[in-house]
Amino acid sequence: MNEPPHPDHTRTDHPETPVGRLWGVGLGPGDPELVTVKAARLVREADVIAYHSARHGRSVARAIAVPYLRGDQVEEALIYPVTTETTDHPGGYQGAIDDFYATCAERLAVHLDAGRDVVVLCEGDPLFYGSYMHIHKRLAHCYPTEVVPGVTSVSAASAVLGRPLVEREETLTILPGTLPTETLAARLATTDSAAVLKLGRTFTSVREALARSGRLDEAWYVERATTDRQRVAPLAGVDPGEVPYFSLAILPSRADTPPLPLRTNADTPEANADGLKAGRASADGPEAGWANGHGPEAGGRGEVVVVGLGPGGRHWLTPEAQDALATADELIGYGPYLDRVPPNPRQRRHPTDNRVEAERAAHALELASGGARVAVVSSGDPGVFAMASAVLEVACEPRFAEVPVRVVPGLTAAQAVAARAGAPLGHDYCVLSLSDRLKPWDVIAARVTAAARADLVLAIYNPASRSRTWQVAAARDLLLEHRDPETPVVIGRDVGGPEESLRVTTLAKLDPADVDMRCLLVIGSSTTRATERAGRTAVFTPRRYPA
């Protein structure tokens, strides 16, 4: 019996010897996108990649893993000396296979003894009728070992078939097609659901067993599930000469449960059957999903959710924001911001210009009043110089009094730039916009001066645009009346985006030519410091203010 994997990297029989780690990594049934995150990481990081194949050298497991290989790794092709053909080995087929696995284990042990981590690639799951288990038996008691599970062919077949395997108290039996016909027939006759693997040359015997058990008409044939060569068909009509090894027979759940009707937003007991059919028929059209209780036709109560996308990539999107975007029927927003939301054919998208906030808000509220779930997207946080206030302002109109409006916060641009720079917002600070499109410049100038006199750090949004080129210089000059010329200034551009850049300068050296609409400025206070650390400038404002 194998000992459990050891957390340290030493041989269990020679504890003083550092060694590599053995990984049995399941890659799933064929679609590289069904490889788990952990499996992909391990394949990418491994020193040695091992995989089994027949003598033609083509490995299904390696083909699945190709997108995750680095290209400079050692590869160990473990090629079977025999598959279905005869052998002159004195121990027969089993003797040849046993010697083969012993040799494979010895080859991999050389790498492990040298301290190299070895990943053995396995289609499906490593310990589910997989070749890896024979390596595992020979090495897991000597080396630190971990098995990474993968999606099995049975799960994949059920998914592509779109039929449950078991419901409620039903039982599932998994059988190899290599069993004698009479044994298969007996077991198929007494189980609720079944999956029969390893078809190929056994297909005729399996079909005969299904017929003897009275289950042939229930049986489905699934070939190469989840790949571009996938095939699904009633098993009774399949030509035995066309059946590859990577196929299986499925007896799905016997529970004859009709599809459940979808509930409407009005929480009616059941959805209109004609509407449901219409929604399915138009799944590729612009109104996909509406008849399923999510659009005006459903007569339900919609809502507007104003969603903050954060300043950059998906890693800065909160789970609450992800959920709001995923459950929406309609997406509305400034075009470049809307482009950051992955497309979903179920949803309709309404990109607009950046200067029509009121019209955008009214459109969202009108859609929601008809029953749609509407997400209005904003970069950063929707409550900071963004769409939340615009939507709420229009929502105050009597015609929208009953439309729910919800605001989902996001990471602000000021927080993102500050984090990249260090901690310049570590003490009291204020947030200002230099845009004079919605307020006069004299108000902006007065507020910049007040913040300077109060010795607040400033986070400045909308510092410049194509048509506004003088405000940065004007704000700098106002600040210099109250701030030291050496006051640290952070210029963050497209932080979180593909063109991110960060520059630290001083107030006296702030050049308006370095600033555009995609920038955010952080102007330090009298206590803000810029210091060199590990080859970069860190900017921070101490939390303690001098008495």
Order of all β-strands in the sheet with 231-234 = 172-176, 193-197, 247-251, 220-223, 231-234
404 and 510 together in one domain: no
What's the CATH number where 478 sits? 3.30.950.10
The DSSP output letter for 343 is P
Highest mean pLDDT range out of 15-19, 90-94, 257-261, 277-281?
90-94
Tell me, what's the pLDDT at 11?
Answer: 57
Stretch 433-448: mean pLDDT: 93
- Encoded amino acid at 218, one letter: E
Measure the CA–CA gap between 361 and 353, rounded to whole angstroms. 13
pLDDT tens sequence across 378-403: 999 999 999 999 999 999 999 999 99
Boundary (domain end) residue, out of 150, 169, 199: 150
Tell me how many domains the chain contains.
4
* pLDDT exceeds cutoff 50 at 284: no
457 and 356 together in one domain: no
Task: Give the relative orientation of helices 357-369 and 387-395 as an angle to the nearest 10 degrees.
Answer: 60
Boundary (domain end) residue, out of 408, 439, 454: 408
Tell me, what's the pLDDT at 15?
Answer: 61
More confident: 270 or 185: 185
Bridge-based pairing state of the strands 118-122 and 48-53: parallel
136 and 161 together in one domain: no
Bridge-based pairing state of the strands 529-533 and 118-122: unpaired
Task: Give residue 292's pLDDT band: very low, low, confident or very high (50, 70, 90).
Answer: very low
403 and 419 together in one domain: no
- Residue 311 and residue 495 in contact, taking contact as beta carbons nearer than 8 Å: yes
More confident: 292 or 77: 77
Question: Does residue 292 lie within any of the structural domains?
Answer: no
Tell me, what's the pLDDT at 14?
Answer: 61
Tell me, what's the pLDDT at 281?
Answer: 31
Query: How many other C-beta atoms lie within 10 A of the C-beta of residue 481?
Result: 10
Range(s) of the domain holding residue 195: 154-251
Task: Give the relative orientation of helices 471-480 and 441-453 as an angle to the nearest 10 degrees.
Answer: 30
Tell me which of 51-65, 116-130, 156-170, 429-443 is least confident.
Answer: 51-65
- Please tell me the chain's helix, strand, coil percentages from 3-state DSSP, rounded to the nearest 5: 35, 20, 45
Question: Does residue 419 lie within any of the structural domains?
Answer: yes
pLDDT tens sequence across 331-381: 999 999 999 988 877 789 999 887 788 999 999 999 999 999 999 999 999
- Residue 197 and residue 153 in contact, taking contact as beta carbons nearer than 8 Å: yes
Where do the H-state alpha helices sit in 87-232? 92-113, 132-139, 153-161, 181-190, 203-212
* pLDDT exceeds cutoff 70 at 291: no
Tokens of 292: 């399923």
Tell me which of 162-166, 286-290, 316-320, 505-509 is least confident.
Answer: 286-290
Measure the CA–CA gap between 398 and 453, rounded to whole angstroms. 43
434 and 509 together in one domain: yes
Mean pLDDT of the chain, nearest integer: 86
Phi, then psi, of 490 in degrees rounded to 5: -110, 125
138 and 62 together in one domain: yes
